[in-house]
Structure 1
Amino acid sequence: MRKTLPVIAALGVAALAFTGCTDSAADPDSNGSGDGDSGDLRTVRVAALPIAETGAIWAAETEGIFADHGLELEIIPSQGGAQAIPALQNGDIDIAIAQPFGAFRANLADLPIRIIGNYANSNAEGEDVNSVVAGADSGITDLADLSGKRVSVNSLGAAGDVTIMKAVDDAGGDSSTIEFVEVAFPEVPAQLDAGNIDAAWAPDPFRNQVVDAGGADLVYPYQATIPGLTVLTNVTSTEVLDRDPELIEDWSAALDEALQFAAENEDAVREAIASNLEIPAEVVDGIVLPEFTTELDTDDLQSLIDLGIDYSVLDGEPSLDELVTE
C-alpha cells in the first residue's frame, strides 16, 4: 500500500514549491539560455534535493567552477525525481539532479526526458549515504519487523521503497504488508516523533538526528540489494538538448569538474552543507558522503529496473538505449 501523509501532502503536489537557494534569479522567459545577472554568465536552473549530496554543487559554485564555464546556478529545491519531471517538461528548469525512477516513468510514457550522466553513487561498502531508521519507541529492531508497519520514503515508487522491499523479503519479512507513505526527508524526525510513521528511509543529516535520539539504524538498502547503486542522476529534456546544446555541453563539463572537486575536497563540501542547510558543523562532520561521479553504470540501472518490475512499481521496461544520452 502506498499513499502520502495528509499533513505533508502539499510538499509533493508542486514540483517546485520553494524559491532558489542561490542569489541568482532566472528570467522566466530565458529558458536558461539568456545572460545571468553577472556579466556574460548564463543562468542554468537546477532542481536538487535539499540534502547533503547537493553539497557538491554548492561547494563548486563557491569555488567559482560554474562561473569558469560561463554559468550561474539557480538551485531550486525539489522533493524528488517524480516531482522534477513535470518542471522539466514545462520549461521551469533546465536540469534535475534526481533519482532515475522519474526518468524511467517518463520513458515509459514516451515523454522527452533524457539522463545525461550520473551525479553520485552510494557506497558499496562501509557506511552508506542512506538507511532505514526506526523511532526509539517503535519496538522495531530488525528488517523483518518492518512487516505490517508504516515506512516513509521521499518519493513513492522509486529506489527507496523498491530496495527496502527487496531487503525486507531477503531478511524473511513480508514486504507486501508494508504501508509506504511519502514524507520529505527534512520531515522524517518529526513524523517519527509524532508516531505518524514507524520507520523511514533517510539520508544524513536526518538519519543521524533519528539515531542520535535513540532510534535504530536497520539497513543500508542499496548495499543490501545493488551495492554502489547510483543515488542521483543528471536529467534534462530533449527540448533543452535541441534548443541549447551549448548550455548542456558547458553544464556537463562544469559538473564533471565540480564533482571531481567535491571528491577531492571533502571539507569544502561539508562547509557548503553546513551553510546551505543551516546545520551545525559538528553535525555535518558525522554525515556520510557518496561517491561523486558523472560516470553512469547502466548495468546497475538495469538491475534497478528489474527490481521495479518485480515489485510492480514499474508497469513496463524503460529503454535505456533511448533514455541515456551521455
Structure 2
Amino acid sequence: MKKLVSSLFGLTLATLTALPSYAVAEEKVTLRVLTSHGGVSAHELASELGYFKNTEVEIKEVGYAGGGPESLFALASGSVDVGSAATSAVINAIASGNQFIAAYPTNGIDSTTQSLFAVLESSPIKELKDIKGKTIAVNTLGAHLDYTVREALHSLGLPQNSANLVVVPGPQLEQVLRSGQVDIAAFGYWQTTFAGAAQSKGGIRTVFGDTDILGDIAGGFTVLRKDFVKKHPIAAKQFVQQSARALDYARENPEEVKKVLAKILQERGENPEIAQYFAGYGVRAGGLAVPRDLQFWIDVLVREGSLRKGQLNVDDILLKI
C-alpha cells in the first residue's frame, strides 16, 4: 500500500494495435470494477450494449470509487480487477513498483470533452492568473485535476502550493460553489454531466478548461494488473477490444448513448436527468493513444522530481495486444 500512496500523482495511456476477433467463449472471466458517480466507463457501456456477450469477459460492478487513487488502491489490493486513473497517477504507481499495465484510454480531453474550472458569475476571478491564493474543489488529490492545477501554476511561474485544493465529491461540486465554500469548482472531463447540470441553472461561468493547459491529450486510462493479463490473455484482449468499440460507438451515436447512460444511472439509483449533459469520452477514433499522451506526463514527473530521468519510457506501461 505504501508504494501506491506515492503513486497518487501520475497518469497512463495505452496504445491499441489491431485487435483480432474471438470465437464464442466457453467460460466467462468476471472482471470486478468500481464505477463513478454520474459517469459510465466505456467497458460498462460495452457491457450494456452486449459487446461482451460472445467473449470470455463479464463485467461486475462492486461499488463506487471516489477517484483514480482510490481505484488504484483497490486494484493493488486485489479487491477489483480493473482500475481507472489519471495518467499521472498510473505512471507514479508503476514507477513505485506496482505491477500495472495500461489497457485503454478511458477519456480524452479536446474541444468537446474537457475539465472545466468554474466560478460564480459574480466572482472576481476572470482569468488563469487569478487562481493564485484561491480555493479550488477537486474530486480527489493526486490525479488529473490536481495535476492540471499544478501545470497551470507552473505556467504562471508559481509554486504548487499557490492555490488551495480541497476534495469534494462530484455530486456536491455545484453546491459548494454556489454556497461560497470554494472559489472555483473543477468539473472533471468525466463529470460533464455534473458540469452541464450546473451550467443549465445559470449563474456560473467557466474561467478555463484543462485543454487550455494541456492541449488535446488522453486524460486517464483503464488499468489492469500484469498477473491478470498473464493469466487471462484472451479475456484481457477482448476487454480492450470491446471497450474501444464502445468508445467509437459513443462518438458516432451520442444521442443514443445518452439514453443508455440515463438507463444505467436510473438502475443505480442516481439521477438519470443528468445523462442529457454527457459530452462524450473525447477519445480518438479507435481508442488509440499517441506517444505524447504518456510522454508529456513522464516529462512533468521528471521535472518535479517524482521520476528519475530515464526511469520509465512509454513502452513500460503499454498493454501490447
TM-score per shorter chain, which class?
0.7 to 0.9
- Return the match for 1:84 from 67, 71, 75: 71
What is the correspondence of 1:17-56 to structure 2 with a 5 Å cutoff? 40-52=27-39, 54=40, 56=42
Match of 2:271 in 1: 279
- Is the aligned partner of 1:131 residue 2:116? yes
SS of the aligned residue for 1:231 comes to strand
* 1:289 Cα deviation from its structure 2 partner: 1.6
Q: Note closer, same or farther for the CA distance 1:219–1:262 as it changes in structure 2 (3 Å cut).
A: same
Residue 322 of structure 1 deviates from its aligned partner by 2.0
Cα gap change, 1:44/1:78 in structure 2, threshold over 3 Å: closer, same or farther? Answer: same
CA shift in 2, pair 1:315/1:256, >3 Å:
closer
Correspondence 1:202-217 to 2 at 5 A: 202=187, 203-211=191-199, 212-217=201-206
Give how far 1:316 is off: 4.3
In the TM superposition, 1:230-245 aligns within 5 A as: 230-245=218-233
Instruction: State how many pairs are aligned.
Output: 284
Q: CA deviation at 1:55?
A: 5.5
Match of 1:3 in 2: none
Q: Deviations over 1:171-217 (max 9, x none)?
A: 68776420112222222112223333211210312222333341121
How far off is 1:150 after superposition? 0.7
* CA distance in 2: counterparts of 1:215 and 1:316, whole angstroms: 41
- SS of alignment partner, residue 84 of structure 2: strand
Q: Are positions 1:192 and 2:177 aligned together?
A: yes
- How has the CA–CA distance of structure 1 residues 311 and 302 changed in structure 2, closer, same or farther, with 3 Å as cutoff? same
Q: Partners of 1:60 and 1:226 in 2: how far apart? A: 29
For 2:272 and 2:243, the matched residues in 1 are separated by 27
Measure the CA separation in 1 of the matches of 2:44 and 2:229: 24
Higher relative contact order (CA 8 A, sep 6+): 2
- What is the distance in 2 between the residues matched to 1:321 and 1:96? 19
Matching of residue 106 in structure 1 with residue 93 in structure 2: yes
Q: Provide the C-alpha distance between the structure 1 equivalents of 2:319 and 2:42, rounded to a whole number of angstroms.
A: 22
Write out per-residue CA displacement over residues 216-239 of structure 1, whole angstroms, 9 at most, x where no aligned residue. Answer: 211111x11332211221201112
Deviations 1:48-105 (A, max 9, x none): 43344x2644443222112232432113421222111221122111112322223212
TM-score after normalising by structure 2: 0.77
2:316 to 298, 313, 322: 322
| Length-normalised TM-score, structure 1 | 0.76
Q: Secondary structure at the match of 1:261?
A: helix
Matches of 1:44 and 1:92, distance apart in 2 = 10
Residues 134 and 265 from structure 1, CA distance in 2 versus in 1: closer, same or farther, beyond 3 angstroms?
Answer: same
- 1:61 corresponds in structure 2 to 47
Kept in 1: contact 2:56–2:235 (CA 8 A): no
Task: Quote the sequence identity (%).
Answer: 21
Unmatched tracts of structure 2, length 5 or more:
1-25
Contact 1:82 1:102 in 2 (8 A): yes
- CA shift for structure 1 position 267: 2.0
The answer to whether residue 281 in structure 2 is matched with residue 295 in structure 1 is no
- Tell me by how many angstroms 1:287 deviates: 3.2
Can you give the 5+ residue segments of structure 1 that lack an aligned partner in the other structure? Answer: 1-38
Asked if the contact 1:229–1:300 (Cα under 8 Å) also holds between the matched residues in 2, the reply is yes
CA RMSD of aligned residues (A): 2.8
The letter for the 2-side match of 1:245 is P
Matched, 1:141 2:126: yes
Residue identity opposite 2:208 in structure 1: V
Evaluate the alpha carbon distance shift between residue 268 and residue 143 of structure 1 in structure 2; reply closer, same or farther with a 3 A threshold: same
Q: Does 1:162 align with 2:147?
A: yes
How far apart, CA to CA, are the structure 2 residues paired with 1:86 and 1:99?
13
Residue 269 (structure 1) shift:
1.6
Question: AA paired with 2:54?
Answer: D
Q: Distance in 2 between matches of 1:174 and 1:109?
A: 24
Give the match for residue 299 of structure 2.
Answer: 306
| Conserved 8 A contact 1:141-1:216 | no
